[in-house]
Amino acid sequence: MAKVAFLGLGIMGYPMAGHLLKKGGHEVTVYNRNAAKSAQWTKEYGGKSASTPKEAAAGADFVMMCVGNDDDVRSVVYGDNGALAGMRKGATLVDHTTASAILARELYAKCKEKGIDFIDAPVSGGQAGAVNGQLGIMCGGDEAVFAKAKPVLDIYAKSCVLIGAAGAGQLTKMVNQIAIAGLLQGLSEAMNFGKKAGLDMEKVVAVISKGAAGSWQMENRWKAMNDVKFDGFGFAVDWMRKDLGICLEEAKKNGARLPTTAMIDQFYAQVQARGGARWDTCSLMHLLAKD
């Protein structure tokens, strides 16, 4: 049994922290900016809550975090009440936030200075993957540190792979988001075309989902697209735009051309303008079905 802190109890972090305690049997202390969420978590799962990241991280073997963006990560890691101020030498900081590769390398260096290990470990699989403990975890860091952390990460992972050095996990998540964005636009256009052609889309999807066009997005989001209803589930447009912004910024540095990604990012801006900031990312369909 390890002593684990989990910082950030959003739609992903809340169930992930729960798995560490219930499924993994670890001693878990949570921190969330909204203390009421921490109280709700401890009531549901047990464990402990802390009033600051420093307090949560004190004495922990592993400190996991899953927050919003680069600035949020820095706010819970640095400063007098940040996680690094409470962590002991030899402990491991694991960042599940989808953030920049620059931040991952920065955190790796800062942790090294303090004798603390670090892994950037963004996740894929959405809320359902977090709830079911079936996430894809893409990691960057040192092999020995990954080997130490993997048994803990496996508690909520379907797949957990070390891709390369610090930052490689975040870069892999960018690849993931670029692929998803293009797939969702293609699926939106295909669904809209089929509907305009008067086809029974349930029958269409039943056939094509078993062939080369099949995907997780098709299996899980075709119904929402068909009904043009995007509330109450999935990965929000605001979050996708944050992620695509990171991808486009990184592409400026490495010289990769992302014309389709840039176009789809602007499509998501149009969805936001229609009031869809919290809609699922499959809401690209709204731009086609509601013109």
Question: Which phi and psi (to 5°) does residue 21 adopt?
Answer: -85, -55
What is the pTM (predicted TM-score) of this model? Answer: 0.95
Q: Is 173 a catalytic residue?
A: yes
Among 89, 110, 158, 173, which one carries the catalytic annotation? 173
Give domain 3-164's CATH architecture: 3-Layer(aba) Sandwich (3.40)
Geometric angle at alpha carbon 261, from 236 and 216, rounded to 5°: 55
Is the domain defined by 171-289 classed in CATH 3.50.50.60? Answer: no
In this chain, the answer to whether the domains covering 3-164 and 171-289 adopt an identical fold is: no
User: How does pLDDT run along the chain (291 residues), one tens digit per residue?
Assistant: 999 999 999 999 999 999 999 999 999 999 999 999 999 999 999 999 999 999 999 999 999 999 999 999 999 999 999 999 999 999 999 999 999 999 999 999 999 999 999 999 999 999 999 999 999 999 999 999 999 999 999 999 999 999 999 999 999 999 999 999 999 999 999 999 999 999 999 999 999 999 999 999 999 999 999 999 998 677 899 999 999 999 999 999 999 999 999 999 999 999 999 999 999 999 999 999 976
CB atoms within 10 A of CB 212: 6
How many whole angstroms from its chain centre is CA 58? Answer: 25
Q: Where are the domains of the chain?
A: 3-164, 171-289
CB atoms within 10 A of CB 243: 24
Write down the pLDDT at residue 261: 98
Cα–Cα distance between 8 and 2 in angstroms, integer? 19
